[in-house]
Amino acid sequence: MASNEHDSASSPQSNADSAKCPYHEGQNRSADAENPYTHPNRNGPHDTQPNAGDGKAKDEALETYRADAEGHDLRTNQGLRIADNHNSLKAGERGPTLMEDFIFREKMNHFDNERIPERIVHARGAAAHGYFQAYDNAARYSKAGVFRDPSKKTPVFVRFSTVQGSRGSNDTVRDVRGFATKFYTDEGNWDLVGNDIPVFFIQDAMKFPDFVHAVKPEPHNEIPQGQSAHDTFWDFVSLMPETTHTVLWTMSDRAFPRHYRNMEGFGVHTFRLIDREGVSRFVKFHWKPVAGTCSLIWDEAQKLWGRDPDFNRRMMWDDIKNGAPLEWELGIQVVEEKDEHSFDFDILDPTKLIPESLVPVVPIGKMVLDRNPDNYFAETEQVAFNPANIVPGIDFSNDPLLQGRLFSYLDTQMLRLGGPNFHEIPINQPVCPFHNNQRDAQHRQTINTGQASYEPNSIDGGWPSETPPADEHGGYEPHHERIEAHKVRARSASFGDHYSQATLFWNSQTEVEKEHIIAAYTFELSKVERPWIRERVITEILPNIDLELARRVGENHGIEAPTTQPAPKGELGTSQVESDPALSLMARMPDSIATRKVAILAADGVTMEDVRSIQKQLSDEGAEGLLIAPSMAPIKASDGSMLAPDAMLNGLPSVAVDAVVVAGGEGSVKALAASGLGLYYVQEAYKHLKPIVAISEGKELLAAARVPVEEGVILVDDVLAASLPLRDALMAHRVWSRDARANQMPA
């Protein structure tokens, strides 16, 4: 037997042995002899079988259906052995994926149909309506109508989402965030389906089902929900070095944005833009938040899981409802075709980014989200994105992950939304007319008139008819790219560098951000039960990013990290830049305090002037001062006037605000200091590096809570003196100098 015949079945019994039957052979048979195979059917209930009564009957019945893969070859569902499960079939190593690849199509088709009815990934989402408006320079790069007229507002619908968890999971888990935009252009729908991280875990779509299976809750117990801290995820990524770059991003503070408005978005893949002369350029798409970038910190994010699992979606909904829209600039990195191979990485590799220090981002338009959906299910849940939805002037590259997505999304939306007519759901319909010869099928809503449902026809005057390509209002035609290559299931050698950009990202982080990454790897690996997986990450993956990172994480797990990088030189790669400031969250800090939320702690006896003055100071700059009290009962101020609280101490905890102000008033401060919730509120704010202001008697609450007086803890006697230092502290988002000491606070 050949050595690779791992799963050959054992030899069956001979036909002679299996055919022996006393009844059929006539042994001891008489006229009234009973057939041993039909006798049980004539006595007692037909479907009752006795069991041992040990509680194992169902388990034994299921044994027939159990399948253990140990010792078996990898095969298709038709039994064909698979020689390469890492690469889709392409026209050349860097060429497009071929529809002929039946192995990829079977694998992806099965994956697309694994979940009913929610999305397999990106199940938990929140969305908003708005518009996009191009800048004057946009038409230079693309003939697409959406970029042609700077005065025109193109409607958009944007859905933000987590990846791993179900619809019922939490908003603030450590995860990649989806950032999907549907442009309803006059030429049809354009879907820019991206993430808040510019790179992806894998290079070829063939591995997408494997990656998602690994990161999803483990199949034997459906644990953990919405998290990557478990064995199957770390087992997979530690065996697939190409995942290292994106895993590092996920271990950073990028994994839990403070607000969707503070989140960058990326198209991930390299696309093409085609101008009116037919010139093609490679581009990377970027969404740059006007409000700047900032994040939650880990302990804060964890506490929000229980206190407000809908934190991000609630913040967006409330801000839009209150007239504070979310805004981004759309930018592109442009690479001329002649420069395609001028980098030390392959621009078709989705695990790589183009450093902004090498190719700056050119802003070409602005997006504003200013209207909430009317119905979550009808819009946010039923919206169907597909990266294959493009318009003339936009085209694809041969990125092998993108090529697979062009197949996968249509397939999965058809299953999720009940058939091929999901485009007729109102939220998915384009704003321009759409006519073709597609007919019938489940959930069809269009009542097609006319007799001909084919093309060409003469019965209905030849309509609908084709539109020739043109510079404006023309039919779509793909970029004319010459392909001469062998059909191969392989990967280009230019995709072999797995670590240089992870090192670039690490080198670009501030010291605070690096400490958070070390803490993230430490925590995540502590949840891995199998010691060899932890050891493999620390000794075989992390040193290739940075030896100090590996040493620190290794110390936290009692594992000695190597002092040299173990990966081959080709996998380590090289980088044209050592660091890039744009890769740090702190490179785009907010330039105003608009939409920030500040808790003003108060109880009976509070100084009315403190509350009103702080609220006005904040309101003048677009921020919000929320009155937080021990209960929702009206507060009686020291001057006898009454104040209505916005929330209770445990109803809007400090993790849900950006700063805390303790208003003056002897009676108010004494009441807060006598409350465990009042003490905890300021302690927790201190721990999460938030600015704290105490006005006059408010200092006594900080003393009772043992909050150190240091940077970011602002003590003033006059409420007017609090305005400028509070504004400056909010602009910095966090008091980062406090980071090393914050964990000493027992909150």
Residues with catalytic roles: 122, 195
Nearest-angstrom CA–CA distance, 692 and 716: 11
Nearest-angstrom CA–CA distance, 599 and 693: 10
Contact status, residue 661 vs residue 713, Cβ threshold 8 Å: no
Task: Kindly list the distances between the CA atom of residue 671 and the CA atoms of 469, 634, 654, 659, in Å, as whole numbers in the listed order.
Answer: 74, 15, 18, 21
379 backbone φψ class: left, alpha, beta (φ>0; ψ -120 to 50): alpha
DSSP state of 218: B
Nearest-angstrom CA–CA distance, 345 and 351: 10
How, if at all, do strands 692-695 and 659-662 pair? Answer: parallel
What phi and psi values does residue 11 have, to the nearest 5 degrees? -65, 130
Nearest-angstrom CA–CA distance, 432 and 578: 48
At 314, which helix (H) or strand (E)? helix 311-321
Scanning 357-496, the segments in alpha helix (DSSP H) are 400-416
Nearest-angstrom CA–CA distance, 489 and 103: 11
Closest CA to 209 of 121, 79, 341: 121
Contact status, residue 72 vs residue 4, Cβ threshold 8 Å: no
- Two tokens, residue 405: 């997505």
Closest CA to 576 of 258, 373, 345: 345
Nearest-angstrom CA–CA distance, 440 and 247: 45
Nearest-angstrom CA–CA distance, 717 and 726: 14
The string of DSSP letters for 500-560 reads HHHHHHHHTS-HHHHHHHHHHHHHHHHT---HHHHHHIIIIIHHHH-HHHHHHHHHHHT-P
Q: In DSSP terms, which residues pair with 181 in a beta bridge?
A: 158, 192
548-549-554 Cα angle (round to 5): 95
Closest CA to 629 of 707, 681, 582: 681
Nearest-angstrom CA–CA distance, 406 and 88: 13
Contact status, residue 540 vs residue 552, Cβ threshold 8 Å: no
Nearest-angstrom CA–CA distance, 163 and 159: 12
Nearest-angstrom CA–CA distance, 721 and 425: 56
**C-alpha Rg value of the chain to the nearest Å:** 31
3-state secondary structure of 166: coil
Give 40-77 as a 3 state SS string.
HHHCCCCCCCCCCCCCCHHHHHHHHHCCCCCCCCCECC
Q: How far is CA 470 from the centre of its chain?
A: 37
Task: Kindly list the distances between the CA atom of residue 262 and the CA atoms of 176, 293, 577, in Å, as whole numbers in the listed order.
Answer: 14, 5, 26
Residues 6+ apart with CB under 8 A from 453: 437, 439
Contact status, residue 271 vs residue 396, Cβ threshold 8 Å: yes
Contact status, residue 232 vs residue 428, Cβ threshold 8 Å: no
Residues 6+ apart with CB under 8 A from 526: 229, 557
